[in-house]
């Protein structure tokens, strides 16, 4: 069972710990911390992954790599863990750049980019997490979002930051 630190409406830790998806905590207007990674390659394409059909939330839609920060981790450590678990790639903490933090639903999200060329043919997916990966252009992701084929409540918060990173190489 995963445990998460509880955050207040401003994203500050309350000192409380919750079990994963404890609706009682969310009903009290509290939050937990998540962490997302948006790798950008030398062709200015963004690595995205298709969520497994076995996922509890939003199965079979495209998304970024990420997950919930568990007790004892910080958001960078979560990205390193999730990247290894979901895609079997190694991420160096020093290569991560925090581009924004935002609140959506019952989660605060620390959003990172990494500028790196990963070979997707070498990735091994965790079957219950990921079914497919691809490098996509900014416009391709925009199209997936408009068609309802991309995870909700992410792109609208990060797209302007990603576009800025791509345009200011």
User: What confidence score (pLDDT) does residue 54 get?
Assistant: 85
User: What confidence score (pLDDT) does residue 155 get?
Assistant: 94
Which two tokens mark 167?
A: 């345009």
Q: Which CATH number fits domain 3-167: 1.10.1040.10, 3.90.1200.10, 3.90.79.10, 3.30.450.70?
A: 3.90.79.10
For residues 42-69, one letter each, b for 16 or more C-beta atoms within 10 angstroms of the residue's C-beta and e for the rest, the string is eebbbbbbbbbeebeeeeeebbbbbbbb
Show the low-confidence residues of the chain (pLDDT under 50): none
The neighbouring-strand residues paired with 38 are: 113
pLDDT, one tens digit per residue, over 34-51 is: 999 999 999 999 999 999
Of the candidates 136, 112, 137, the residue with the CA atom closest to the CA atom of residue 49: 136
Average pLDDT, the chain: 94
Kindly list the domain boundaries of the chain, sorted by start residue. 3-167
CB–CB of 66/82 below 8 Å? yes
Q: How far apart are CA 47 and CA 155, in angstroms?
A: 13
The neighbouring-strand residues paired with 39 are: 114
User: What confidence score (pLDDT) does residue 57 get?
Assistant: 83
Which two tokens mark 15?
A: 């000192």
Q: Is the pTM of this model over 0.75?
A: yes
Q: Which residues contact 112 (CB under 8 A, 6 or more apart)?
A: 35, 36, 37, 38, 75, 76, 79, 96, 97, 98, 99
User: What confidence score (pLDDT) does residue 48 get?
Assistant: 97
Which two tokens mark 50?
A: 């298709």
Q: Which residues contact 80 (CB under 8 A, 6 or more apart)?
A: 90, 91, 93
């Amino acid at each position: 069972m995963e445990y998460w630190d509880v955050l207040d409406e401003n994203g500050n830790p309350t000192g409380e710990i919750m079990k994963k998806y404890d609706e009682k905590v969310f009903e009290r207007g509290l939050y937990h911390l998540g962490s997302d990674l948006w790798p950008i390659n030398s062709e200015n394409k963004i690595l995205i992954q298709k969520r497994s059909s076995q996922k509890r939330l939003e199965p079979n839609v495209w998304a970024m790599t990420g997950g919930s920060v568990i007790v004892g981790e910080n958001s960078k450590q979560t990205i390193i863990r999730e990247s290894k678990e979901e895609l079997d790639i190694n991420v160096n903490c020093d290569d991560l750049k925090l581009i924004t933090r935002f609140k959506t639903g019952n989660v605060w999200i620390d959003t990172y980019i990494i500028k790196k060329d990963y070979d997707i043919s070498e990735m091994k997916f965790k079957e219950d997490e990921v079914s497919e990966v691809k490098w996509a252009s900014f416009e391709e992701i925009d199209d997936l979002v408009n068609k309802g084929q991309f995870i909700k409540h992410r792109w609208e918060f990060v797209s302007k930051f990603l576009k800025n990173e791509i345009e200011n190489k």
